[in-house]
Amino acid sequence: MSISYDEFKKVEIRAGKILSAEKIPDTDKLLKLMVDFGEKVEVKKEGEVSAPVDKVLVSPTEANTVTPTTEVIKEYVNVPRQIVSGIALRYPDPAVLVGKTCMFVTNLEPRKIKGSDSNGMLFAVSTPEGGFSLLEPNDTIPAGTIAA
Please, which residues bridge with residue 72 across strands? 46
Rounded to whole angstroms, how far apart are CA atoms 58 and 78? Answer: 41
pLDDT digits (tens, 9 = 90+) for 56-107: 444 455 555 555 566 777 788 889 999 999 999 999 999 999 999 999 999 9
Residue type, 135: L
The pTM of this model reads 0.77
Enumerate domains of the chain plus CATH numbers. Answer: 5-39+80-134 (2.40.50.140), 43-75 (no CATH)
pLDDT at 75: 83
Backbone angles phi, psi at 102, to 5 degrees: -130, 175
With contact defined as beta carbons under 8 Å apart, do 134 and 95 qualify? no
